[in-house]
């Protein structure tokens, strides 16, 4: 496998079908993240707690712990894997395309593992779910979002539906919902003492995450075509506008008191404009507001709206977020000379806040020896596993 960074595992091809993972050392839980496709079986690294990171469509979240490599071709490797899993209460996360048949063939299905460890929480994270017509089909965020019905609601009027990058199904409906399922299963286990199987999938996760859309069908919020409603860009007071310097401002002045301040900030008079909720006048009002915004720069509009409750904010770029006063006050973003800028872990817990890490990602197999010893393997056993290429232990090379 060479000197792979775990973040690049998605793009590697291997003839040995490796499992790559890192258990949380000296803890109550052992978290294994596995991604599966038709040509390889890959498991990603884990992070500092059982629910701080979940893989979604083979994308890996940062700030992770030690790296471990285990090939699964030899029978001895499965013995090692099972020993690691049963050494503690175990959380297993699978992110498969056709992972059901793969894991069952490896004798790692939930039915087998629960016999040995009834406390096991076995979370199967997939795109389409563990059953149904598309269960074995490949897909990506946009496909899952399309099948959930949510994609049909996203996009500008008169244009094709547009997916919001790959955030909603992959990370929201997939990773976040799976993590929530694990937390619920962990809590339930404190009462029953038993683990359970979690069928987390991105289609149903994205749909459930978007329950607001379904629950408000009869309220009139969505009676117009896509992009012409109150919250999807149709309203002139809930959209974005280009400024004189080519930047953008975001407007969310829905309530009358906020809308009044918004109009005042624009230098307009309410009695000279159509009623705020006159939908037929929205296109013309949007043109009028756009003309006004185009006369000042983003910085100038910030000076006007920053100290008001008009619900008008600048659209910040990745380069700007760390310099904004509010984000600086809260320390919302972390900047490291080597790793660049990234968001601080959220939400912020009062008693046990996450400690941001500026360390590099581990090399695959960098901590194999330490992890095995942590779980009771002797040095001769570790040496034998390494000699048989069951595990790999790849340390960083010194730069002289």
140 annotated active-site? yes
Q: Residue 39: left if φ>0, alpha if ψ -120 to 50, beta else—which one?
A: alpha
CB 168 within 8 A of CB 206: yes
Write out the two tokens for 363. Answer: 């090399």
Structural tokens at position 135? 């269960």
Coil, helix or strand at residue 211? helix
Q: In what order do the strands lie in the sheet with 391-392?
A: 18-20, 69-71, 391-392
For residue 112, what are its two tokens?
A: 């087998």
Residues 217 and 221: their CA atoms lie apart, in Å, by 7
Determine the length of the chain. Answer: 400
Contact between 258 and 184 (Cβ < 8 Å)? no
Which residues have CB under 8 Å from 326's CB, separation 6+? 332
Residue 56 DSSP code: B
Q: Is 361 annotated in the active site?
A: no
**Of residues 114, 140, 199, 281, which has the active-site annotation?**
140
What whole-number distance in Å separates Cα of residue 323 and Cα of residue 311? 20
Return the structure tokens found at 91: 């959380």
Three-state SS annotation for 66-121: CCCEEECCCHHHHHHHHHHHHCCEEEEEEEECCHHHHHHHCCCCHHHHHHHCCCCE
DSSP of 321-332, one letter per residue?
A: GGGSHHHHHHT-
Active site residues: 140, 170
């Amino acid at each position: 496998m060479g000197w792979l960074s775990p973040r690049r595992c998605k793009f590697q091809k291997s003839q040995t079908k490796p499992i790559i993972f890192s258990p949380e050392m000296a803890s109550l839980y052992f978290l294994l993240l596995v991604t599966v496709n038709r040509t390889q079986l890959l498991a990603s690294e884990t992070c500092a707690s059982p629910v701080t990171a979940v893989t979604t469509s083979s994308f890996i979240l940062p700030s992770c712990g030690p790296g471990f490599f285990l090939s699964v071709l030899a029978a001895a490797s499965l013995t090692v894997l099972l020993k690691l899993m049963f050494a503690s209460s175990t959380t297993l996360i699978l992110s498969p395309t056709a992972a059901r048949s793969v894991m069952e063939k490896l004798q790692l299905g939930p039915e087998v593992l629960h016999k040995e460890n009834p406390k096991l929480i076995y979370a199967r994270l997939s795109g389409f779910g563990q059953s149904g017509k598309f269960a074995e089909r490949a897909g990506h965020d946009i496909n899952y979002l399309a099948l959930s019905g949510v994609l049909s609601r996203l996009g500008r009027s008169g244009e094709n539906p547009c997916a919001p990058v790959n955030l909603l199904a992959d990370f929201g409906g997939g990773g976040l919902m799976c993590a929530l399922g694990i937390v619920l299963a962990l809590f339930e286990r404190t009462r029953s003492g038993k683990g359970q199987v979690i069928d987390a999938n991105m289609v149903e996760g994205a749909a459930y995450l978007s329950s607001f859309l379904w629950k408000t069908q009869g309220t009139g919020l969505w009676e117009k075509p896509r992009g012409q409603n109150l919250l999807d860009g149709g309203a002139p007071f809930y959209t974005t506008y280009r400024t004189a310097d080519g930047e953008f401002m975001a407007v969310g002045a829905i309530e009358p008191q906020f809308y009044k301040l918004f109009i005042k900030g624009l230098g307009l008079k309410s009695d000279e404009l159509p009623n705020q909720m006159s939908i037929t006048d929205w296109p013309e009002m949007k043109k009028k507001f756009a003309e006004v915004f185009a006369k000042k720069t983003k910085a100038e509009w910030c000076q006007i709206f920053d100290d008001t409750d008009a619900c008008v904010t600048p659209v910040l770029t990745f380069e700007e977020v760390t310099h904004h006063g509010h984000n600086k006050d809260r320390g919302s973003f972390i900047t490291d000379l080597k790793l660049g800028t990234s968001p601080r872990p959220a939400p912020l817990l009062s008693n046990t806040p996450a400690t941001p890490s500026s360390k590099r990602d581990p090399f695959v197999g960098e901590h194999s020896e330490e992890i095995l010893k942590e779980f009771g393997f002797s040095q001769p056993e570790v040496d034998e596993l390494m000699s048989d290429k069951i595990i790999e232990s790849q340390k960083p090379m010194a730069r002289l």
